[in-house]
């Protein structure tokens, strides 16, 4: 390396922006990609409680979590580049696209809009980024984007079996396609096309609202899978902690409990859309929380058939969604983290000790990871509940607010709980008594 002369150290003509124009252009594109991923996280979560197939719910939770990873890495790389900007706000014109996409009442139609139009547009944007950046100068970004492209291509393959078509769905996809085309794509990679004559934004006429019930598709439903009556429900509360209960019975009951963390998947998914001003890190951790809960539900969904349980005999409980949807997002989140999860540890500890009697390594592993995840979720609650409260204009001390929310939940439970009758008669649905017979316990 040759040392610069004094003349080399003199300021050159032109602005710093001019010198770094290439960096700033790539930073501008990364910023747009970050905002698109942020909006996907905020709005695609509205699909989760509107579609019914558990496998599809699980897949959507996974995609949201992976998108949160994309956004996080884009932000971190972007902060290394001049021109990315220090804030995390999403520009109004981009938010309008996603606010439009959530509006169909039919979950399948909304799913098609996201995965036939918006996700392909994001994939095109990532590919465009690779086309216009320098493979060596911008190598860190290039390697990230290459990985994201692989994820997006996999997302498209994974979702294909669930995508519907039909006149109404095709018309909605064409509606969203026109919006994306009018922007020239998410990165302006093509010439903007004018919106069709007579085009009307649905979001200009109405706002999205969460449905009052969640969709469980073909699966039978009920108010709750917990009770004190072994002839009524599969989980008998006193049996979980009774030393006399056969450990094999407890194992099936706890797998039902885990599968019913689908409740948490559905109501936690509502919080994203209701907190558009949240810092990205809050939504990132909520996405991880959501993905964890979907994995826990899968523990039961996958294991119960191995133990001889027909999943079509297991009713899905809807009470928690029905009650919590009548509470604002900070109250939903408080009940989830500070009441349901924090309050479950003593019972689950007893259950874990009983399961160990069976020398079932897989069950031990699943329950250990469930407990570890739930501990992290309570930590998330302590970290983020004050932030969500502040977003809602709630300034009471956290402890006081949580106590008040617990009391409010009890009132709302009287109004909105217990309203879902058993979809199956006693002779067909899984109950505590049937679990005893299934495992051959005395």
For the cut 90, the answer to whether the pLDDT of residue 10 exceeds it is no
For tokens 């990679």, what's the residue?
189
List the one residue out of 438, 432, 431, 436 whose CA is nearest residue 307.
438
What integer pLDDT is reported at residue 16 of this predicted model? 56
Other Cβ atoms less than 10 A from the Cβ of 395: the count is 9
For the cut 70, the answer to whether the pLDDT of residue 7 exceeds it is no
For residue 227, report the phi and psi dihedrals to the nearest 5 degrees.
-165, -175
What integer pLDDT is reported at residue 3 of this predicted model? 45
What integer pLDDT is reported at residue 330 of this predicted model? 98
Between residues 17 and 383, which one has the greater pLDDT? 383
Please state the pTM of the whole predicted model.
0.94
Task: Judge residue 257's burial from the number of C-beta atoms within 10 Å of its C-beta, 0-12 exposed, 13-18 middle, 19 or more buried.
Answer: buried
Superfamily of domain 21-200: Heme oxygenase-like (1.20.910.10)
What integer pLDDT is reported at residue 17 of this predicted model? 61
Going by pLDDT thresholds of 50, 70 and 90, the confidence category of residue 164 is confident
List the one residue out of 283, 264, 236 whose CA is nearest residue 441.
236
Going by pLDDT thresholds of 50, 70 and 90, the confidence category of residue 87 is confident
Q: Residue 171 is encoded by which pair of tokens?
A: 């018309």
Average pLDDT over residues 296-307: 97
What integer pLDDT is reported at residue 1 of this predicted model? 41
Average pLDDT, the chain: 94
What integer pLDDT is reported at residue 442 of this predicted model? 65
The torsion of the CA quartet 124, 127, 132, 136, rounded to 10 degrees, works out to 160
Domain map of the chain by residue range? 21-200, 221-439
Residues sharing a CB contact under 8 Å with residue 197, sequence separation 6 or more, in sequence order: none
Going by pLDDT thresholds of 50, 70 and 90, the confidence category of residue 8 is very low
For the cut 60, the answer to whether the pLDDT of residue 11 exceeds it is no
For the segment 362-419, what is each residue's pLDDT rounded down to a tens digit?
Answer: 999 999 999 999 999 999 999 999 999 999 999 999 999 999 999 999 999 999 999 9
Question: What percent of the residues of the chain are helix, what percent strand, and what percent coil, each to the nearest 5?
Answer: 65, 0, 30
Task: Measure Cα distances from 158 to 55, 59, 119, 345, 435 in Å.
Answer: 11, 8, 13, 35, 35
Task: Judge residue 177's burial from the number of C-beta atoms within 10 Å of its C-beta, 0-12 exposed, 13-18 middle, 19 or more buried.
Answer: middle
């Amino acid at each position: 390396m040759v040392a610069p002369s004094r003349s080399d150290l003199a300021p050159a003509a032109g602005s710093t922006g001019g010198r770094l124009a290439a960096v700033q252009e790539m930073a501008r594109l990364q910023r747009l990609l970050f905002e698109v991923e942020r909006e996907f996280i905020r709005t695609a979560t509205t699909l989760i409680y509107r579609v019914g197939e558990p496998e599809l719910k699980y897949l959507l939770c996974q995609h949201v979590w992976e998108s949160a990873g994309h956004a996080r890495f884009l932000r971190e790389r972007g902060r290394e580049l001049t021109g990315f900007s220090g804030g995390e706000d999403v520009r109004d014109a981009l938010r309008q696209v996603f606010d439009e996409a959530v509006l169909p009442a039919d979950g399948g139609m909304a799913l098609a809009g996201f995965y036939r139009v918006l996700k392909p547009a994001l994939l095109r944007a990532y590919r465009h980024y690779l086309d216009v950046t320098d493979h060596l100068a911008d190598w860190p970004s290039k390697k990230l984007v290459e990985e994201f492209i692989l994820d997006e291509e996999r997302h498209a393959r994974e979702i294909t079996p669930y995508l519907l078509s039909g006149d109404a769905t095709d018309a909605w996809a064409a509606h969203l396609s026109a919006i994306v085309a009018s922007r020239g794509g998410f990165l302006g990679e093509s010439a903007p096309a004018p919106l069709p004559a007579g085009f009307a934004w649905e979001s200009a006429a109405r706002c999205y609202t969460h449905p009052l019930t969640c969709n469980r598709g073909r699966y039978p439903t009920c108010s709750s899978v917990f009770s004190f009556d072994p002839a009524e429900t599969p989980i008998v509360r006193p049996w979980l902690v009774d030393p006399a209960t056969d450990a094999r019975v407890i194992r099936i009951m706890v797998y039902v409990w885990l599968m019913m963390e689908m409740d948490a998947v559905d109501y936690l998914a509502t919080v994203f859309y209701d907190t558009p001003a949240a810092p990205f890190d809050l939504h990132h951790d909520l996405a991880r929380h959501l993905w964890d809960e979907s994995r826990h539900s899968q523990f039961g969904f996958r294991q119960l058939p191995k133990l001889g349980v027909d999943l079509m005999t297991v009713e899905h409980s809807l009470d928690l969604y029905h009650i919590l949807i009548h509470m604002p997002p900070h109250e939903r989140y408080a009940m989830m983290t500070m009441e349901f999860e924090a309050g479950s540890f003593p019972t689950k500890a007893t259950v874990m000790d009983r399961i160990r009697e069976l020398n079932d390594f897989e069950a031990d592993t699943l329950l250990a990871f469930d407990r570890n995840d739930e501990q992290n979720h309570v930590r998330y609650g302590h970290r983020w509940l004050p932030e969500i409260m502040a977003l809602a204009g709630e300034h009471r001390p956290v402890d006081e607010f949580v106590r008040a929310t617990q009391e409010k939940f009890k009132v709302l439970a009287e109004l909105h709980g217990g309203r879902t009758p058993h979809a199956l008669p006693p002779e067909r649905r899984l109950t505590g008594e049937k679990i005893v017979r299934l495992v051959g316990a005395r």
